[in-house]
């Protein structure tokens, strides 16, 4: 659907400054929203917010619908009376410019467990033995009422997620396909036995999700009150080792004996890799999805729309046709394109939920069929300036070739920063860029590309915060195809200066956003 002419910033919340070793949903997040407001921005693209596993990628989560416990702010738990100042007084010496995920988890998770214990203890204190109309619940009992309401509203995904994570812990973190057959196949007797055995652990995971979404909802409310809309991602695929695949194996292509993906997702050789990218996620059984009227996918959209304003569909082209690689392959070279049921899905989605604020990540090998699917449902696609200067004047990423119903980026979380990209450009591509710009400004190449994006006809322009700050390759967020060392970058407290805000505000005003 068409969007107004606006601009915004791309920043995953883990990149916010924080004394707890990783960006979270505390005060710096609110201060970042204030920076957006001061700079006349209207959008904050946050990427996925789910609970991550190996590699720490938010595109490879244990659940498509849960939130990441690592993003919970501990100061807010003190304000809620669930932790004390003493509990968070001794903070490790965390690195300030990147996230050490293992160190953060070993510090935060025991405190979340303590907060849960306090929650359970306080919420049962001083309850009247008999119903009493004069009874006034205390703060803990009100929190318990909120908790019960949340659990009831999230029942579709929360029960499966909480049990799944409890089972993983009970199996020393092993993937669900290695569990005993009874619980691997969710046989009712096995499920009930494990639920009884893991009652306290399940309560803990329910509590953590309640706190995450309570903090996130408060932050989103603040953003919306300030005129900022949140763009959140729906990754097309989910991790093989996830609550979704364990709970809904029938909608994925799995080997019946091993429960491993029989067909794995990825992409053929492209801009990022000469051997393609083998992601390892199971692809969907689109026939089974159609038979369920796409129920699981509809629920995904419903859940996310409760917590974001606009949805960006990652790897949109997979809704038209997807690259499928057989189990056992070690690269994505030997795959094949298979047809998906995207047209049928988006018809059902619109029928059930109405016309939604959705963007399409339409990068990679895009065919006329993918473009037709995108355009049929009037979804804005993405245009990346880093891709614009390597070809001829028919390059679809050049600003004069893009349509209004587009979202233009300098680069994305998968690209180098603009400064790093420019410093590593080949001479031909660099000269094309300089010829196009006419000249470079004293503000730096990053501001030149921000200006170029702002001045384009695209309805929306979005810039990674690294480009706003003029940072180099050291601040890159993600290297596609690289398993480790990603998602660690954080910006420094004090980096969002008035001069940076003033320049961004000036360009935003000049180009009518």
Kindly list the catalytic residues: 314, 361, 414
Q: Which residues contact 332 (CB under 8 A, 6 or more apart)?
A: 266, 267, 268, 269, 273, 275, 276, 277, 278, 323, 325
Q: What is the DSSP letter of 405?
A: S
Q: Which residues contact 98 (CB under 8 A, 6 or more apart)?
A: 488, 489, 490
- 427 in the Ramachandran plot: left (φ > 0), alpha (ψ -120 to 50) or beta? alpha
The answer to whether the beta carbons of residues 198 and 170 sit under 8 Å apart is yes
Give helix then strand counts, H and E, for the chain.
18, 12
Measure the CA–CA gap between 16 and 400, rounded to whole angstroms: 35
Which residue reads 């969007």 in tokens?
A: 3
DSSP secondary structure string for all residues of 195-246? HHHTHHHHHHHHHHHHHHHHHHHHHHHHHHHTTPEEEEEEES---SSSHHHH
Which residue reads 């809309």 in tokens?
A: 229
Instruction: Read off φ and ψ for residue 18, nearest 5 degrees.
Output: -170, 145
Strand partners, 277: 267
Angle (nearest 5°) at CA 65 between 144 and 205: 40
Closest to 104 in 3D by CA, of 492, 482, 488? 488
Measure the CA–CA gap between 320 and 371, rounded to whole angstroms: 9
- Distances from the Cα of 244 to the Cα of 269, 278, 288, 417, 510, angstroms: 28, 20, 15, 33, 46
Encode 18-51: b = buried (16+ Cβ within 10 Å), e = exposed.
bebbbbbbbebbbebbebbbebbbbbbbbbbbbb
The answer to whether the beta carbons of residues 191 and 281 sit under 8 Å apart is no
As a residue count, the chain comes to: 513
User: Residue 341 burial by CB count (10 A; 0-12/13-18/19+): exposed, middle or buried?
Assistant: middle
The answer to whether the beta carbons of residues 314 and 236 sit under 8 Å apart is yes
Closest to 357 in 3D by CA, of 230, 463, 457? 230
């Amino acid at each position: 659907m068409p969007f107004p002419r606006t601009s915004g910033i791309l920043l995953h919340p883990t990149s916010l400054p924080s004394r707890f070793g990783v960006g979270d949903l505390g005060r710096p997040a609110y201060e970042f929203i204030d920076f957006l407001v001061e700079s006349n921005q209207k959008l904050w693209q946050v990427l996925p917010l789910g609970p991550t596993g190996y590699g720490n990628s938010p595109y490879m989560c244990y659940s498509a619908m849960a939130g990441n416990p690592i993003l919970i702010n501990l100061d807010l738990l003190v304000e809620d009376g669930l932790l004390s100042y003493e509990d968070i007084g001794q903070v490790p010496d965390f690195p300030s410019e990147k996230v050490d995920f293992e160190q953060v988890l070993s510090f935060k998770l025991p405190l979340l467990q303590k907060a849960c214990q306090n929650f359970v203890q306080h919420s049962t204190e001083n309850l009247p033995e008999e119903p009493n109309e004069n009874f006034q619940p205390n703060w803990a009992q009100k929190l318990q009422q909120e908790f019960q309401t949340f659990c009831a509203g999230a029942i579709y995904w929360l029960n499966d997620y909480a049990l799944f994570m409890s089972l993983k812990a009970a199996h020393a973190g092993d993937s669900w396909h290695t569990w005993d057959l009874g619980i691997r196949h969710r046989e009712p007797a096995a499920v009930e036995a494990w639920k009884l055995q893991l009652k306290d652990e399940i309560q803990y995971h329910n509590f953590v999700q309640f706190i995450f979404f309570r903090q996130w909802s408060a932050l989103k409310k603040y953003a919306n009150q300030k005129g900022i809309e949140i763009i959140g991602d729906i990754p097309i695929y989910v991790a093989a080792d996830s609550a979704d695949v364990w709970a809904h194996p029938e909608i994925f292509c799995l080997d019946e004996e091993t429960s491993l993906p029989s067909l794995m997702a990825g992409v053929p050789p492209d801009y990022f890799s000469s051997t393609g990218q083998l992601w390892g996620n199971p692809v969907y059984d689109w026939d089974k999805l159609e038979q369920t009227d796409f129920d699981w996918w509809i629920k995904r959209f419903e859940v996310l729309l409760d917590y974001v304003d606009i949805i960006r569909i990652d790897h949109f082209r997979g809704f038209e046709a997807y690259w499928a690689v057989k189990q056992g392959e070690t690269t994505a070279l030997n795959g094949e394109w298979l047809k998906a049921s995207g047209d049928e899905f988006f018809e059902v989605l619109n029928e059930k939920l109405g016309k939604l604020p959705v963007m399409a990540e339409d990068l990679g090998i895009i065919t006329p069929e993918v473009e037709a699917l995108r355009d049929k449902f009037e979804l804005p696609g993405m245009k990346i300036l880093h891709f614009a200067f390597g070809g001829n004047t028919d390059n679809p990423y050049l600003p004069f070739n893009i349509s209004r119903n587009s979202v233009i980026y300098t680069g994305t979380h998968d690209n180098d920063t603009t400064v790093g990209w420019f410093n590593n450009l080949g001479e031909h591509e660099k000269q094309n860029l300089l010829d196009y710009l006419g000249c470079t400004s004293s503000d730096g190449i990053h501001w030149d590309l921000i200006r170029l994006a702002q001045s384009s006809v695209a309805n929306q322009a979005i810039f990674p915060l690294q480009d706003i700050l003029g940072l180099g390759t050291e601040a890159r967020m993600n290297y596609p195809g690289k398993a480790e060392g990603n998602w660690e970058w954080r910006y420094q407290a004090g980096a969002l200066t008035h001069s940076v805000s003033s320049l961004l505000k000036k360009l935003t005003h000049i180009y009518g956003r």
